[in-house]
Structure 1
Amino acid sequence: MAEPVHHNNALEKDMSAQSAASTGLNGAGQHPAAYRGGGFDYSNPMAHIHSGNETRLPAFGGEFQPGLWRSVEARKFANPAPLGLSAFALTTFVLSAVNLNARGLSAPNIAVPLALGYGGIVQLLAGMWEMAVGNTFGATALSSYGGFWIAYGILLTPHWNILGAGGPYATDAVKAIDPKMGESAVGIFLTGWFIFTTILLLCTLRSTVMFFLLFFTLDLAFLMLACGAYANDNNAMEASHKLNQAGGGFGMIAAFLAWYNAFAGIADSSNSFFLIPVFHFPWSEKGRENRVANKTERQTA
């Protein structure tokens, strides 16, 4: 008489889980929750590279990360995003104040030391540290804007004389500044940064409201300043002045939004009596998670 077969259900369940983990699929043939980002199955396989068994948290401007990101506590490196955001914010604040003609300021040269030192070198270093912690977006954005400030500082440095009298954009006859060349060159320079910022802006559409608004206002600042340069090229001086002021206004908002995200990345229960909200978009991973939680609570009630 054959002996009955006894099944070890716990062992079989454990072996099934290990098999699913080795293939990256659950029992239904789908990616597990750690891969799906709270219910969303990514079609981009690159999104799964660093998932594994690590906790993946929602998008957060304080980490300069528009997608799922790893907790700071799980890393050996500090979070470099607040440093880069602060460097960007202060330099943008000063230049935007000049563009707004605050207290009668009109010459932007006061921004040169900040552009080369804090907004340039320090932000570039923060971008390189973002590369070390595996944040591709943060590394690209902070390093690029660090390069922007270094380039802009060089542009305004009298020693280089790029836009000054007798420089490469001056007429040969009287060695005076030719606005049709100089302003067009600055306009093209700023247009390129507008395009780059638009690309980054598209990557924040599923993050948080404060993170998105940072790039949205910065994008508008570059657009207004570029249009102001083109208007100056066309001798529309009044329009150019208004566009530069509009660029300064959007830049000022972008600066405070950068500080806001920086504070969100620095403040925690160990150093602050309060935490500021970041407002997740309803279509983001965190937004969908909150909707599901609220729906479950209503059903339970």
Structure 2
Amino acid sequence: MSSVSQAAAPKLGNPGVVGLAGFGLTTLLLQFHNLGWAGLGPVIWTGLIFGGLAQMIAGLQEQKCGNNFGYTAFTSFGAFWIALVGIFLGNKFEIFTLSHTDVGFFLLAWALYTAILWVASARVHMAMFLTFTTLEIGFVLLVLEKFGFGESLGWWAGVDLSLCALLAWYMMAHIIFLDLFGRDILPVGKPLVH
């Protein structure tokens, strides 16, 4: 019997870096808009392409890695960004327009979904838990603002969600630096729940 040497499987990239990059960048741009610093144009295009399509593709690649958390988070939030852009465009061109209350219910559904991932994130690591904590807080603040509990809540949501976006980028940088430098330059902490 002859021995056949098998070539080692090629190293694959981690789709999480694209998902975290798209989520972080698009979320940050939306907060720049919500805080009154930038127009809506950059949010529309990055929301469709980077936060939407690229993040959804990253989520689908997470499925192949066997990562159910990344699979559902990136695929779902990719869909969130595409839907949110649809809401912006629908209201702009008066096609299936949504009221503040309608948007509030849209965000409430996402807050409930995010609460499930928030609980699950406690089993990943502290940086993930903090990211989903700030995301959940941001959704709750936006829901309350849309239901008329105070316009200033939108500003606080903008500040909170800016931090959420930067935490996502921190995790992205952690993965990239760990791969390139071979050591943990940006620690993410232990899971909150073991």
Same fold? TM cut 0.5: yes
Corresponding residue for residue 101 of structure 1? 36
* Match of residue 3 from structure 2: none
Instruction: Provide the aligned C-alpha RMSD in A.
Output: 2.3
**Taking CA–CA contacts closer than 8 Å with sequence separation of 6 or more, which of the two structures ends up with the larger relative contact order?**
2
Aligned sequence identity (%): 31
Shift of 1:209: 1.4
Aligned-partner SS, 2:99 = helix
**Residue type of the partner of 2:81?**
W
CA distance in 1, matches of 2:161, 2:12: 31
Report Cα offsets for 1:73-97 as digits up to 9, x if no partner. Answer: 9985321101100000000000011
**C-alpha deviation, 1:225, in angstroms:** 1.2
Q: Decide whether aligned partners of structure 1 residues 151 and 260 sit closer, same or farther in structure 2, where only a CA change above 3 A counts.
A: same
* 1:278 maps onto 2:185 in alignment: no
Match of 1:248 among 151, 158, 162: 158
The answer to whether 1:84 aligns with 2:19 is yes
Structure 1 residues 115, 282: CA separation in 2 closer, same or farther (over 3 Å shift)? closer
Contact 2:101 2:146 in 1 (8 A): yes
Q: Contact (CA 8 Å) 2:126, 2:192: kept in 1 or not?
A: no
C-alpha distance 274-141 of structure 1, shift in aligned 2 (>3 A): closer
The CA distance in 1 between the partners of 2:9 and 2:113, in whole Å, is 31
Give me the whole-angstrom Cα distance separating, in 1, the residues matched to 2:135 and 2:193: 23
Task: Give the alignment of 1:1-301 within 5 angstroms.
Answer: 76-102=11-37, 105=38, 107-157=39-89, 162-164=90-92, 166-169=94-97, 182-231=99-148, 239-240=150-151, 242-268=152-178, 270-271=180-181, 275-281=185-191, 283-284=193-194
CA-CA distance at 1:204 after TM superposition: 1.5
Shift of 1:270: 3.6
Query: Per-residue displacement from partner, 1:9-49 (whole Å, max 9, x unpaired)?
Result: xxxxxxxxxxxxxxxxxxxxxxxxxxxxxxxxxxxxxxxxx
Q: What CA distance in whole angstroms lies between the structure 2 residues aligned with 1:121 and 1:218?
A: 20
Cα 1:108–1:267 change in 2 (3 A) is: same
Distance across 2 between alignment mates of 1:110 and 1:185: 24
CA distance in 2 between partners of 1:167 and 1:243 (Å) = 28
CA displacement 1:146-175 (0-9 Å, x = unmatched)? 000011111112xxxx32475544xxxxxx
What is the alpha-carbon distance in structure 2 between the residues aligned to residue 227 and residue 282 of structure 1?
28
> Gaps spanning 5+ residues in structure 2: where?
1-7
Q: Is the 8 A contact 1:221 1:248 kept in 2?
A: yes
For residue 138 of structure 1, report the CA deviation from its aligned partner.
0.4
Q: Report the CA distance between 1:247 and its aligned residue.
A: 1.1
Shift of 1:125: 0.4
Counterparts of 1:153 and 1:260 in 2: how far apart (Å)? 25
Moved more, 202-211 or 125-134: 202-211
Name the one with the larger helix percent.
Answer: 2
Task: State the one-letter code of the partner of 2:74.
Answer: L
Q: TM-score, normalised by structure 1?
A: 0.57
Kindly report structure 1 stretches of 4+ aligned residues shifted beyond 2 Å.
73-77, 107-110, 162-169, 268-274, 281-284
- Equivalents in 2 of 1:168, 1:127: separation in Å? 28
Higher gyration radius (CA)? 1
Which runs of 5 or more structure 1 residues have no equivalent in the other structure? 1-72, 170-180, 285-301
Cα distance in 1 for partners of 2:111, 2:133 equals 10
Change (3 A) 1:136 1:166: closer
